[in-house]
Amino acid sequence: MAFSPLVQRIADEGAAAWEIHAAAVAAARRGADVCLLSVGDPDLATPRAVTDTAVESLRRGRTHYTDVLGEPELRRAIAAQAADQTGLAIDAANVCVTAGAQNALFTAALLCLQPGDEVLVPDPCYVTYEATIRITGATPVRVSPRADSDFRPDPAALAAAITDKTKAIWLTTPNNPTGVTLTPAELDALADLARRHDLWVIADEVYAALTFTREHHSIAARPDMAARTVTVSSLSKSHAMTGWRVGWLVAPEALVVHAGNLALAMHYGLPGFVQDAAVRAIADAPDIVAENRAIYRARRDLLLDKLSAAPGIRPLCPEAGMFLMADVRATGMRGTDFAWALFREQGVSVLDAGAFGPSAEGYVRLSYTLGETRLAEAARRIAAFCEQRRATSAMRGVHG
């Protein structure tokens, strides 16, 4: 039987990037001693008060259909949080609750793009973006970062990539995989492009609450940008709630109306008990986020410290999030070869960062979602792997 051509749009290199993670998870299930640094799934438990709220809600019978756009209380809570963060006049009519941030991105793509459109995507970017854009018939146009900038976007290169087919800029700040957080000046430059060329901006801000060294700013808050920006976020990373699948988009009211129509044909609303828990999570966000941010910053610093002396690897200091990029080109290995050899020899799984875009070739992405003891062990194994590679290269030089 023949499949739709759609299957070709969603099967790209990004999908293949997860093969090493799948192999590592399978090995761990068999009892192997594996350090999983290949996925951004926090090891932290969802806060007890949030879980208790969901349990109590279940017992009250909150297991029936809910409002397709999201329950009013949750939409109001999201709107109030977004208004506080941006200074914009945002209310529930600007909010659509989705099954995680990925569902929100998918929704935004379907509502803003059409076949023949081009979408500017600063490289590197999260692996699902390619398929999410292509499923609409639009084409992602990857734009390389500034040279020797450790992956900061290049507004001039973005401007040069604009054609009469360009419909949107797909923006991520803070970035996954790099941890780069855009400055007000960088956001101003991108906002200027969007205004001058009448472009949508689809802004993935999932890691906005987990910044360490630079304050997060939303492009929607730049002058005259709210009407052309779809801002996506979730509770997955900030609240250790990846499996709860609570995300949302904040957008012009007219787009939210269309998002509701799409939700009718897609997921038909989130479970009531999950939405009740999400309301509690947002109410408790200041304490929850402050604690989780401190944990991730400590883990980031530990990993940077432990890897700083390892030969052949140069870790980059992320400004936010739960991932660290490391340049492994000095080992003489490609990122994918480094990742698989590290897994097979040391039982540590990392991702080949080249899967996030050509500008990240020769890098790997490490998550710091393990506890500090286990993370230190993973770093020790990575250093040992690099030392062994250096020794092997030296031996070859002697006998070569």
Q: What is the pLDDT of residues 189-224, one digit of tens each?
A: 999 999 999 999 999 999 999 999 899 999 999 999
250 with 90: CB under 8 angstroms?
Answer: yes
Residue 12 scores a pLDDT above 70:
no
Neighbours of 381 (CB within 10 A): 17
Structure confidence at residue 92 (pLDDT): 98
> Strands 348-349 and 35-36, how do they pair?
parallel
Residue 297 scores a pLDDT above 50:
yes
User: What average pLDDT does the structure give for the chain?
Assistant: 94
223 with 194: CB under 8 angstroms?
Answer: no
Neighbours of 196 (CB within 10 A): 10
- Both tokens of residue 32? 């192997």
- Digit-coded pLDDT (tens) for 106-128: 999 999 999 999 999 999 999 89
144 vs 154: CA distance, rounded Å: 7
- Digit-coded pLDDT (tens) for 240-262: 999 999 999 999 999 999 999 99
- Both tokens of residue 165? 């087919």
Spell out the residues 6+ positions from residue 231 whose beta carbon is closer than 8 angstroms to its own: 82, 203, 205, 218, 220, 249, 250, 251
Structure confidence at residue 223 (pLDDT): 96
Residue 1 scores a pLDDT above 90:
no
375 vs 299: CA distance, rounded Å: 8
- Digit-coded pLDDT (tens) for 15-56: 667 899 999 999 999 999 999 999 888 889 999 999 999 999
Please tell me the least confidently modeled range out of 27-31, 82-86, 155-159, 389-393: 389-393
CA R_g for the chain? 21
- Digit-coded pLDDT (tens) for 127-155: 899 999 999 999 999 999 998 889 999 99
> Strands 363-367 and 323-327, how do they pair?
antiparallel
156 vs 145: CA distance, rounded Å: 10
110 with 96: CB under 8 angstroms?
Answer: no
Residue 394 scores a pLDDT above 70:
no
In one-letter notation, the amino acid at residue 30 is R
Residue 150, Cβ density class (10 Å: 0-12 exposed, 13-18 middle, ≥19 buried): middle
Domains of the chain are 10-39+287-390 (3.90.1150.10), 48-283 (3.40.640.10)
Structure confidence at residue 396 (pLDDT): 60
Structure confidence at residue 11 (pLDDT): 73
Name the band, by pLDDT with cuts 50, 70 and 90, for residue 398: very low
String of DSSP letters for 300-362: HHHHHHHHTTSTT-EE---SBSSEEEEE-GGGT--HHHHHHHHHHHH-EE-EEGGGG-GGGTT
- Both tokens of residue 162? 């604009």
Name the band, by pLDDT with cuts 50, 70 and 90, for residue 391: confident
276 with 62: CB under 8 angstroms?
Answer: yes
134 with 140: CB under 8 angstroms?
Answer: yes
281 vs 233: CA distance, rounded Å: 14
